[in-house]
């Protein structure tokens, strides 16, 4: 059933027309709102490239219907920091030189930021468990772990 859905994304309200309320939130964020993060990875919610925060919790936007996101607070990578005032994890990501190709960065930072929000001093085990569902084909797992631990040690 077609209709209008209102999404609260990065603190701004957006009205979008949807033909199918089961359309993935990811498509609305990228196609209707023009956000280049999150990214389409596997389309099954398994790789994490599409991760956003919904009401502060990580969610895979490729498998979440846009109708389920209506009326909820959605935060993307664009919403956790700016170039002028980056999130501490974004800064640590650069300092630890985590990125290689950068395609998966969205999921790793969004999962790491959610972990740090609920537990500012996670153990290495906590970080590894958080990152266990993410895929990075470049193999930057240990550098990502170091970035989260860097922020954790500054808290």
pLDDT in tens, 107-125: 999 999 999 999 999 999 9
| Structural domain for 140, as ranges | 81-154
User: In this prediction, what percent of the chain has a pLDDT beyond 70?
Assistant: 99
User: What's residue 1's pLDDT?
Assistant: 59
How far is 27 from 140, CA to CA, in rounded Å? 27
pLDDT band per the 50, 70, 90 thresholds, residue 53: very high
- Which of 79, 94, 118 represents a domain boundary (last residue)? 79
Answer whether residue 68 shows pLDDT above 90: yes
Which of 45, 79, 113 corresponds to the end of one domain? Answer: 79
**Tally of domains in the chain:** 2
C-beta of residue 106 within 8 angstroms of C-beta of residue 59 = no
Q: Domain check: are 86 and 52 in the same one?
A: no
Q: 102 falls in which pLDDT band (50, 70, 90)?
A: confident
Q: Are residues 70 and 127 in the same domain?
A: no
Q: Of 33, 51, 79, at which residue does a domain stop? A: 79
**150 and 90 share one domain:** yes
Whether the bond into 38 is cis, omega within 30 of 0: yes
Same domain, yes or no, for 66 and 106? no
pTM score of the predicted model? 0.93
Integer Cα distance of 26 and 45 in angstroms: 11
């Amino acid at each position: 059933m077609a209709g209008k859905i209102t999404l609260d994304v990065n603190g701004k309200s957006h009205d979008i027309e949807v033909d199918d309320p089961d359309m993935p939130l990811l498509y609305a964020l990228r196609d209707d709102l023009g956000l280049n993060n999150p990214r389409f990875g596997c389309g099954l919610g398994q790789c994490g490239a599409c991760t956003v925060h919904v009401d502060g919790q990580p969610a895979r936007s490729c498998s979440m219907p846009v109708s389920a996101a209506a009326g909820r607070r959605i935060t993307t990578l664009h919403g956790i920091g700016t170039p002028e005032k980056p999130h501490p994890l974004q800064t640590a990501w650069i300092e630890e030189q985590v990125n290689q190709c950068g395609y998966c960065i969205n999921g790793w930072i969004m999962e790491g930021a959610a972990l740090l929000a609920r537990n500012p001093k996670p153990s290495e085990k906590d970080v590894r468990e958080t990152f266990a569902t993410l895929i990075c084909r470049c193999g930057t797992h240990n550098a990502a772990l170091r970035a989260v631990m860097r922020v954790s040690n500054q808290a």
